[in-house]
Amino acid sequence: MIRNLLCWLVASAAAGCAPSYPPIAATNGGDAAFKSRIATFHPPGSRAQRLRDELARQGFVFLEDAVARRYSAIDRPGNLPCYSETRIDWTEDGRGRIVQIQAARHSCS
């Protein structure tokens, strides 16, 4: 009986599980639409500071290797039992312009 109750609780929690994404990654078109949005609004040659400012406003955590001019911004909301992650990686030139950019979002659902 206890085992059945535990299974029911886990199944109930999982059924209500929905990934949580920040506004920049929120789209009904999935990962492909998110990547397209990043490519459209923050293409190579655009100012990296504009991207950083937008991501900071949305609560992303930044990782950087300033010597190599490689940067990452990661959002992992505490929406357990679900897991979702949004990540944007880019490189910059000496003028602070984006050279290369990649984006992905993942979830357990």
Decide the pairing of beta strands 84-92 and 70-75: antiparallel
Is 43:100 a contact under the CB 8 Å cutoff? Answer: no
The per-residue pLDDT for 109 is 60
- Token pair recorded at residue 70: 């490689």
In this prediction the pTM is: 0.78
The per-residue pLDDT for 8 is 37
Per-residue pLDDT of the chain (109 residues; tens, 9 = 90+): 554 433 334 444 545 566 778 888 887 778 888 899 999 999 999 999 999 999 999 999 999 998 999 999 999 887 667 778 899 999 999 999 999 999 998 877 6
Domain ranges (residues) in the chain: 19-107
- Token pair recorded at residue 104: 């992905």
Is 103:35 a contact under the CB 8 Å cutoff? Answer: yes
